[in-house]
């Protein structure tokens, strides 16, 4: 197996992008990544695109052909990768494996979602849960994560204010990200007084409905400096599966897929949680941000709330979390999120993150979740 490097990244603006089509979003991201890598489209050998539900959001399936066609990259082989909200993370993993195996040399892994073209995106998003036992009984993702939050509060004494702090820290970082959907700071009081969605979660605990795309270019590590002076190396790529439905889990305050994927990634990279200097976690709801910090091994189970209050996750804290603003502030276009997380870590490792730059960072991690934890992808990167 060959070592793999990232030589180019990009992300579109995230938000309610009414004037930009699905095909134009992915084309913009792909072309910008190609330019960032200083290569030609003809240099690419394969493309992997993460997308959760173009069929329901924009009534378009067979997007692999659409994307290759619209970007002028036919007959380049293109494959769509789907794992709900972890589609981007698995598209990245697919590209990494293609290069590591020697099957391809230069590939593009991307992600895209256009979510605002439907009146109500809830039914489409709900397909990432168990249709028979959850969605058809009226359970939505806010209510599923609300159950997880309630149980965490009961088991560990986590407070409503500590949940709110996850959103506050994200927005503090996102305010410095020009590509973020909501680049503004918020307060704990604003979170606590926002509209109730599913008790205890309120509007400002929830990631938004988002349009956007992102892309990365991968090549063998031994060739990376032919293309760039600032390659970023893939130290680990791991994936694990969990139950799709909450009722099948022993403990809904732990996402087992995250625990197993993280353990695999640390072993692969020959690292420990203390070696990670920044992490992009999948905070689709504030409670998932807390669970991620615990399940990735940065704090003991039940201690994420106090850790956030103590500043551990701030950009100058012991483990900076979501310097991009995370899903809450940067936005969450489902299929693109895992790739956008990677782009942020790459910019941090290159020293190109502007006002949100973390000093002296050499190792970063991404954590991408599908559904309520049915799929988890964890990656570790180094400069």
Q: What is the mean pLDDT of the segment spanning 202-218?
A: 98
pLDDT at 63: 96
pLDDT at 379: 98
Cα distance between residue 198 and residue 100, in whole Å? 43
66: helix, strand or coil:
helix
Whether residue 367 has a cis bond before it, omega within 30° of 0: no
* Cβ neighbours of 19 (radius 10 Å): 5
Give the tens place of pLDDT for each residue, 297-355: 999 999 999 999 999 999 999 999 999 999 999 999 999 999 999 999 999 999 999 99
Cα(213)–Cα(222) distance, rounded to whole angstroms? Answer: 28
342, 6 Cβ separation under 8 angstroms: yes
pLDDT tens digits for range 215-255: 999 999 999 999 999 999 999 999 999 999 999 999 999 99
- Contacts of residue 199, Cβ cutoff 8 Å, sequence gap at least 6: 146, 150
Please, where are the H alpha helices in the chain? 22-37, 54-57, 63-70, 87-100, 122-126, 141-156, 160-174, 188-192, 256-269, 286-295, 304-309, 326-329, 337-350
Which band of pLDDT confidence, cut at 50, 70 and 90, is reported for residue 145?
very high
CATH homologous superfamily for the domain 4-120+210-226: Thiolase/Chalcone synthase (3.40.47.10)
Name the pTM for this structure: 0.97
What are 70-102's pLDDT values in tens digits?
999 999 999 999 999 999 999 999 999 999 999
SS3 assignment, position 249: coil
Q: Is 215 helix (H, G, I), strand (E, B) or coil?
A: strand
Catalytic positions: 85, 332
- The CATH code belonging to domain 122-206+234-382 is 3.40.47.10
Query: According to DSSP H, which parts of 276-336 are helical?
Result: 286-295, 304-309, 326-329
pLDDT at 74: 94
Q: CATH 3.40.47.10 occupies which residues in the chain?
A: 4-120+210-226, 122-206+234-382
Name the average pLDDT for the chain.
97
């Amino acid at each position: 197996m060959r070592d793999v490097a990232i030589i180019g990244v990009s992300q579109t603006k995230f938000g309610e992008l009414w004037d930009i089509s699905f095909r134009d979003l992915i084309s913009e991201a792909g072309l910008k990544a190609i330019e960032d890598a200083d290569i030609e489209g003809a240099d690419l050998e394969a493309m992997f695109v993460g997308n959760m539900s173009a069929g329901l959001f924009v009534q378009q399936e067979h997007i692999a052909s659409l994307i290759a066609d619209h970007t002028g990259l036919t007959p380049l082989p293109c494959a769509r990768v789907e794992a709900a909200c972890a589609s981007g993370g698995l598209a990245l993993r697919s590209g990494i494996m293609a290069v590591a195996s020697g099957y391809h040399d230069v590939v593009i892994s991307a992600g895209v979602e256009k979510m605002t073209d439907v009146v109500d995106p809830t039914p489409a998003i709900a397909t990432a849960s168990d249709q028979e036992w959850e969605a058809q009984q009226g359970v939505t993702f806010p209510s599923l994560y609300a159950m997880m939050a309630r149980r965490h509060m009961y088991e560990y004494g986590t407070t409503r204010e500590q949940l709110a702090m996850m959103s506050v820290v994200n927005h503090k970082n996102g305010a410095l990200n020009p590509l973020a959907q909501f680049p503004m700071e918020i307060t704990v009081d604003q979170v606590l007084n926002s509209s109730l969605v599913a008790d205890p979660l309120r509007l400002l605990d929830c990631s938004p409905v988002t349009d956007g795309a992102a892309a990365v270019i991968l090549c063998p590590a031994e060739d990376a400096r032919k293309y760039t002076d600032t390659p970023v190396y893939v130290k680990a790529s791991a994936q694990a599966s969990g139950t799709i439905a909450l009722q099948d889990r022993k403990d809904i305050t732990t996402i087992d897929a995250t625990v197993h994927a993280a353990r695999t990634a640390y072993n692969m990279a020959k690292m420990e949680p203390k070696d990670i200097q920044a992490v992009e976690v999948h905070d689709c709801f504030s409670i998932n941000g807390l669970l991620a910090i615990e399940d990735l091994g940065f704090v003991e189970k039940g201690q994420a709330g106090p850790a956030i209050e103590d500043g551990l996750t701030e950009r100058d804290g012991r483990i900076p979390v979501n310097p991009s603003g995370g899903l809450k502030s940067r936005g969450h276009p489902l299929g693109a999120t895992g790739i956008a997380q990677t782009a942020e870590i790459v910019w941090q490792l290159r020293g190109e993150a502007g006002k949100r730059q973390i000093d002296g960072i050499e190792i970063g991690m991404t954590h991408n979740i599908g559904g309520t934890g049915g799929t988890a992808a964890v990656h570790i990167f180094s400069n």
